[in-house]
Amino acid sequence: MARGIGLVVTEHIAGGMVEGDSLCGEIQSNGGNDSLRAMPAQDLLTTLAEEAIALAGGQSIDAVGLAFPGIIRAGVIEDSPNLQQLKGLAIQAAATDALAALGMRTEVSVYNDADVIAAGIAATRGTLERPAGALWPAITRVWTLGLGIGFGHYPVAEGVWEGGHTVVSLDPNENFCGCGGRGHLEGIMGHRAMRLRFLDREPDEVFAAAKSGQDPRCAEFAILWHRALAAATATSIHLEGPGKFYITGMNAQFVNLPFLNRCVQEMVKMSPLQSYVFEVVARSDDVAVIGAAVNALRSCR
């Protein structure tokens, strides 16, 4: 059975070994967001290579899948607002060299962090393959609600797919997105953006105040937050069609599914597009690591 390693760099580094479509052994994690943001690119590559060697434990590895936040195409991190030291880095070639220097020669693939979550969900739900009689695999789409906002897609498709930077507001004062753009989904929903908007409150305090009705400003923001996610989802539906949307990440706990559905219903009116559904999935390093390894193994077939 094919054996791969998945390494995912988000708020921390998570890694594990995968055989077929299943995790074998425990997930290893280290580092925190602040330390990763301050770590030079070469040091991060060395850390990842050492982690891969440790996970392999002397066994042969068919592929290594790496995942990072940002725009990643043709093995290059074109931009990564959350890990700016990686911008422009030819990460696939650099990681291949770093592994080879430690004695591991294998195929290396690099993906967006949200895309590997989508692949991991597909793997754990048994929807990696094309359904019988269908021309294409079922699309798995996932919103990741963390420091920023990610939009994962399986199968991996050509393009940028920075769904977190979908424009959902024309208000020029909506300028909290980490990339500096105005009106972006991430500028409303991202953890960092919410902390900038409410300097005296953490996001959990904002939603608690909104739920209790104690603070009209918090209540209005909770509505805006859900309508922003609904708008971005409606855009995806109008471009790719309906289906299931998964929601995960540390701030998925704030999602009010009945209200979110009502918001989307206001925005999607054409009957062929109304067969959509949301599912909140618990945040898990396992899913992302499986997705990174599975994507890498499938890309080297």
Residues 160 and 100 in one domain: no
Residues 86 and 169 in one domain: no
Chain center to CA of 132: 28
Q: How confident is the model at residue 127 (pLDDT cuts 50, 70, 90)?
A: confident
Output the pLDDT for position 137: 62
Output the pLDDT for position 36: 87
What is the C-alpha to C-alpha distance for residues 16 and 213, in angstroms, rounded to an integer? Answer: 44
Output the pLDDT for position 136: 61
Question: 55-72, pLDDT tens digit by residue?
Answer: 999 999 999 999 999 999
Residues 81 and 133 in one domain: no
Residues 105 and 148 in one domain: no
Q: What is the residue range of 39's domain?
A: 3-112+285-299
Q: Which amino acid is at 99?
A: L
What is the C-alpha to C-alpha distance for residues 48 and 186, in angstroms, rounded to an integer? Answer: 28
Question: 190-199, pLDDT tens digit by residue?
Answer: 999 999 999 9
Question: 234-278, pLDDT tens digit by residue?
Answer: 999 999 999 999 999 999 999 999 999 999 999 999 999 999 999
Residues 105 and 126 in one domain: no
Residues 133 and 259 in one domain: yes
In order of 81, 88, 226, 264, the CA distances from 273 in angstroms are 33, 38, 20, 11
Residues 133 and 256 in one domain: yes
Residue 281 has pLDDT above 80, yes or no: yes
pTM: 0.92
Residue 33 has pLDDT above 80, yes or no: no
Are the C-beta atoms of 129 and 137 separated by less than 8 Å? yes
| CATH number of the structural domain spanning residue 128 | 3.30.420.40
Residues 12 and 103 in one domain: yes
DSSP letter assigned to residue 137: P
Question: 70-126, pLDDT tens digit by residue?
Answer: 999 999 999 998 889 999 999 999 999 999 999 999 999 999 999 999 999 999 998
